[in-house]
Amino acid sequence: MQQKWQLATQVIHAGREKNESGALVSPMCQSATFVFDSAEQGGARFAGEEQGYIYTRLGNPTTAELERKLAALEGSEAAAATASGMAAVSAALLANLSHGDHLVASNAVYGCTFSLMNSQLSKFGIEVSLVNFSDEAAIKSAIKANTKVIFCETPVNPHLDVYDLDMIARIAKQHNLVSVVDNTFMTPLLQQPIKHGIDIVIHSATKYLNGHGDVIAGVVCASHAQMEVIKFEVLKDVGAVMSPHDAWLILRGLKTLDVRLERHCHNAQNVAEYLAHHPKVAKVYYPGLKSHSGYRLLGRQMRRAGGVIAFELQASFAESIKFVDQLPLFSIAVSLGDAESLIQHPASMTHSPYSDEERSRAGISDSLLRISVGLESIEDIIQALETGLSQLP
Ligand SMILES: *Cc1c(COP(=O)(O)O)cnc(C)c1O
């Protein structure tokens, strides 16, 4: 029945089950453990002979509702709710890589995903090659006999580059690799990688899925076979599972995901077009602009261009910092997908540990700024930017 529903209906209804009290909103099950009727029943649950909850690290009714909903939205067989987006990335990779294996990933990835691959996985003898995922030949030539996983996120910071999911899924199938895509910037309402043949989708639910900036959480969506390892081996033993309270908040946030994204995308498109015509703005990176390289994949793999924009000012490092400090309305913060419009300056914040050379290689200029366009009135957002830009020398 759920397959027939539109995604806007599924965010509200998918995964719900009747509860004993008849409450419209599923009650939060804030319990660490579950009581067995008898020792025999406990034994049967541990042996997998009887369905039922045992202990919240292994499963919980509230997180299970969220998992059913996200699996329905992404079109996967199953999902696992995790303690953070990074726990989701870690679980997907740890489940599919062992000592001596190799991983191919895009050279632009979320900062902690980069350090997970380079600092943590490398300790266990897992090798990584980072290549430009816009270049099919570069990906193919990075694949070796011991390559097991191909990983990317799209669109990706700092320039909102968009990678072709059909092409990545095709390469993965040809070389027998597990493909993993971080879908945080899009959500399943704007992009469904599994429909393009990707094996595993991960999210930072901290961002749009929850949408209210009050939870750190993640999710992995994949097949039952993958979930046997991701959830019942890796997450069980590593322990990075989501709390039922966070799952309950995300279930609440998800109900408005469709209407929120409608506004985020509308506002971001307007802001991107406004910035693109402003004389104090040197360049705008947003896949909703015809001038952006990702525009060709809009409609094919992304329904809309999302709510995150990067742009460069005609300004120095110091002037860019001053612009951020003086900008009305926007909060100076990393993260994205919240109701509030946020701004950050990568050169002094997210990418400050980089050397000057690494920064320029990654294309992080002194005046590059990233905004997560919020849900405020578009008139007020544009007015705030107008005020800020008019104060530049
Ligand atoms: C925020 C983010 C993460 C990490 O998520 P946390 O919930 O902060 O652990 C991973 N990938 C992307 C694209 C993100 O934006």
Model confidence over 223-261: pLDDT tens digits?
999 999 999 999 999 999 999 999 999 999 999 999 999
Report pLDDT for 141.
98
Report the C-alpha gap between 185 and 43 in whole angstroms.
43
**Rounded mean pLDDT, 143-147:** 98
Cα diameter, the chain = 77
- 296 and 263 in one domain? yes
What value does the mean pLDDT take over residues 78-101? 98
Asked if residue 125 and residue 49 are part of one domain, the reply reads yes
Q: Residue of the nearest CA to atom 11 in ligand 1?
A: 110
* pLDDT higher than threshold 70 for residue 36: yes
The predicted structure's pLDDT at residue 356: 87
The first and second tokens of residue 35, run together, are 């009581």
Among 260-264, 288-292, 358-362, the least confident range: 358-362
What mean pLDDT comes out for the span 38-58?
97
Q: Select from 209, 238, 254 the last residue of a domain.
A: 254
**207 catalytic residue (yes or no):** yes
Average pLDDT over residues 330-344: 97
Residue 3, pLDDT score: 55
Encode 125-159: b = buried (16+ Cβ within 10 Å), e = exposed. ebbbbbbebbeeeebeebbeeebbbbbbbbbbbbb
What DSSP state is assigned to residue 304?
A: S
Taking residues 142-162, report their average pLDDT. Answer: 97
CATH number of the domain enclosing 279:
3.90.1150.10
Residue 222's beta-bridge partner residues?
A: 78
133 with 206, same domain? yes
Name the closest-CA residue to atom 6, ligand 1: 85
- pLDDT > 70 fraction of the chain, expressed in percent and rounded: 99
Within 13 Å and on the Cβ side, how many CA atoms surround 309? 28
For residues 171 and 244, membership in a common domain is answered with yes
The predicted pLDDT at position 360 comes to 87
Ligand 1 binding pocket mutation candidate from 90, 106, 109, 110 (most atoms within 8 A of CB): 110
Residue 361 has what pLDDT? 84
CATH number of the domain where residue 31 is located = 3.40.640.10
Is 110 an annotated catalytic residue? yes
Residue 50 sits in the same domain as residue 195:
yes
Give the domain-ending residue among 254, 281, 309: 254
Where do the H-state alpha helices sit in the chain? 7-13, 39-46, 61-74, 85-96, 111-115, 136-142, 165-174, 224-229, 236-238, 244-254, 257-276, 317-326, 356-361, 378-390
Q: Are 307 and 288 in contact (CB under 8 A)?
A: no
| Nearest atom (ligand 1) to Cα of 336 | 15
Most informative mutation of 82, 86, 201 for ligand 1 (most atoms within 8 A of CB): 86
Number of compact structural domains in the chain: 2
- Token pair, residue 309, equals 């924009």
pTM: 0.97
From the candidates 45, 110, 164, 231, give the one annotated as an active-site residue: 110
Closest Cα to residue 109, out of 166, 81, 169, 150? 150
Tell me, yes or no, whether 238 and 322 share the same domain.
no
- Per-residue pLDDT averaged across 285-305, rounded? 97
Q: In what order do the strands lie in the sheet with 78-82?
A: 78-82, 218-222, 200-204, 178-182, 147-153, 102-106, 127-131
**Predicted pLDDT of residue 134:** 96
| Band of residue 352 on the pLDDT scale cut at 50, 70, 90 | confident
Q: Domain check: are 130 and 13 in the same one?
A: yes
175 and 90 in a common domain: yes
Q: How confident is the model at residue 350 (pLDDT cuts 50, 70, 90)?
A: confident
Ligand 1 pocket, mutate which of 190, 204, 208, 370 (most atoms under 8 A from CB): 204
Is residue 343 scored above 70 in pLDDT?
A: yes
Number of Cα atoms under 13 Å in the Cβ half of residue 248: 13
C-alpha R_g of the chain: 22
Residue 162 Cα to ligand 1 middle (Å): 17
pLDDT given for residue 2 in this prediction: 45
Which residue spans within 92-247 are E strands per DSSP? Answer: 102-106, 127-131, 147-153, 178-182, 200-204, 218-222
Task: Pick the atom of ligand 1 nearest to 184's CA.
Answer: 13
Query: How confident is the model over 172-207, as pLDDT tens digits?
Result: 999 999 999 999 999 999 999 999 999 999 999 999
Q: Which of 182, 199, 246, 338 is catalytic?
A: 182
Domain co-membership, 76 together with 118: yes
Q: Answer yes or no: do 203 and 262 share one domain.
A: no
Sign of the CA dihedral running 187, 164, 6, 263 = positive
Boundary (domain end) residue, out of 233, 254, 275: 254
pLDDT digits (tens, 9 = 90+) for 359-385: 888 889 999 999 999 999 999 999 999
Backbone dihedral angles phi then psi of residue 128, each to the nearest 5 degrees: -130, 140
Range of the domain at 317: 257-390
Q: What does pLDDT average to over the chain?
A: 96
User: Based on the domain organization, do 222 and 295 belong to the same domain?
Assistant: no
Stretch among 12-21, 26-35, 112-121, 347-356 having the lowest mean pLDDT = 347-356
148 in the same domain as 214 = yes
Using CA of residue 8, residue 9, residue 10, residue 11, what is the dihedral sign? positive
Atom of ligand 1 nearest to the CA of 216: 7
Residues with CB under 6 A from ligand 1: 84-86, 110, 153, 182, 184-185, 204, 206-207, 216, 218
Q: Output the six-digit token pair for 336.
A: 């994205």
